[in-house]
A and B are shown apart, each in its own frame.
Chain A
């Protein structure tokens, strides 16, 4: 028997409010299934289990706020025998019928990677350094894939999922697809408030993390101008033949380049904890995403160095939409190993980020500008971005930082190889 506990989703989190159960006693769960939604300062976070088994008992009522580490549910592990005894157990009285999760359905994207280290409830499981997306469970192949958030939205709003066209990987239905369907069904669209996003609480969380960063981390800052004309040409050519669903943005290229460079320069990828640096085995790139109305979250794109550009782009779209809809998963909020911040095409030419502790580096991407540039001895107009690095001087020095930035710039010269 294993307790499923309130996870710590960052050093500043002390407690969370359980707002939704996606399982009920008797349900089978497998590793990576989303079992509950917890409201924190960072918004509503979908909590995954890393312990496969059968839900034996729900221990915490809806809307209770409990400290990190509190057992939320009891899971009978697969090794503990037949579920006969469990079926006989009476369901806890205070839990209303939550929509059952569909364990056969693999979440559309991104495939949930194990992040056991971040969750005290789970035994420490090494994340394999190279994890191909898990193969589809046989049952899921026959069934339309639907992300949990999409399924929930459809249920809440009475949308028949068979009328929704999926735009995710392999035709999976994403939250945005259901939203789109809603837009078609309802006119005019009602003004909506994003549920699960408390911007005041988010501001408090940002304040705590950034103040801690500036207090504890001796930052150093570097900048590097990179000619991204090759990226623009390559993208224009590639996107011309693609429907909008499959088009790439330059952001996907920069994330991939940073991911690959971080793999080669491990001093920028990992955590500084207990007075020492722990390099990370995998590269999970946190993407800073602005929330409308103020606020910011930086959920992780897992294994960004391993993904194809197409896969990276579709995960990024999914992540941005879910973040803005207040639906981030627990593994995404707690395990970024490096962060990228970009203020967009109408933003500024350069930004110097503040490291998100316990990470040790943040990359800033400025907007693309046209500049006179010397190529092969002649001056011509080129598209240039300024890439910056803020890094932790306890872990690395400027020399290594310069090589790291130069590597990112070099990778962007050959977008077809990314």
Chain B
């Protein structure tokens, strides 16, 4: 899966949570919680969706690494390559 595909998946899942947001306009380095106005339940749903769709495990302790769009893409890319859990 390419970086572009992963970014697309992340954007789609975030759009499922925040449908009215134009993901193309979101600063990839911005804190998603603020940029998308999502709460801890939304974030858990996002992690759950990524877990189901890409079969990667995202422990709670790693949540801060996924707090930006770029961060999430980088994290998923790294974990797709190494471990399939």
- Chain A positions within 8 Å of B, measured between CB atoms, are 165, 167, 176, 179-180, 183-184, 187-189, 191-192, 194, 236, 239-240, 243-245, 247, 249-251, 290, 292-293, 316-317, 320-321, 344-346
Contacts and interface: CB of A to CB of B under 8 A. Distances in A.
21 contacts: A176-B45, A180-B16, A187-B8, A187-B12, A189-B15, A191-B19, A192-B19, A194-B19, A240-B60, A243-B57, A244-B47, A244-B48, A249-B41, A251-B40, A292-B19, A293-B20, A321-B45, A344-B40, A346-B33, A346-B34, A346-B39
B14 to A, nearest CB: 10
B45 A240 contact: no
Q: Contact size class for B?
A: 20 to 34
Interface of B: 8, 12-13, 15-16, 18-20, 33-34, 37, 39-41, 44-45, 47-49, 51-53, 57-61
B13 A183 contact: yes
B18 A251 contact: no
A290 B38 CA distance: 10
Given A244-B44, A346-B33, A239 B60 contact: yes
A317 B60 contact: no
Interface class of chain B by DSSP: helix
A240 B62 CA distance: 10
B41 A317 contact: yes
**Most A-side CB within 10 Å, residue of B15, B34, B41, B51:** B41
Contacts of B39: 290, 344-346
Contacts of A236: 60-61
Given A189-B12, A317-B45, A240 B40 contact: no
Nearest to B34: A346
Given A167-B48, A183-B16, A346-B34, 9 more contacts: A183-B53, A187-B8, A189-B19, A192-B19, A239-B60, A243-B51, A244-B44, A292-B19, A344-B39
Contacts of B60: 236, 239-240, 247
B22 to A, nearest CB: 9
Nearest to A290: B39
Contact of A245 (B33, B48, B53): B48
B61 A292 contact: no
Contacts of A245: 48, 51
Nearest to A186: B12
Nearest to A177: B52
Contacts of A244: 44, 47-48, 51, 58
Nearest to A343: B39
Which 3 A-B residue pairings sit nearest by Cβ, starting from the closest? A244-B48, A344-B39, A244-B47
Contact of B52 (A165, A293, A317): A165
A250 B60 CA distance: 13
A183 B18 contact: no
B40 A345 contact: yes
Contacts of A239: 60
Nearest to B52: A180
Contacts of A321: 45
Given A180-B52, A240-B59, A243-B51, A249 B45 contact: no
A218 to B, nearest CB: 32
Contact of B44 (A189, A191, A247): A247
Contacts of B40: 249-251, 344-345
Contacts of B47: 244
Nearest to A293: B20
Given A240-B60, A240-B61, A292-B20, A180 B12 contact: no
Nearest to B39: A344
Contacts of B15: 189
B24 to A, nearest CB: 11
B34 A189 contact: no
Contacts of A249: 40-41, 44
A167 B51 CA distance: 12
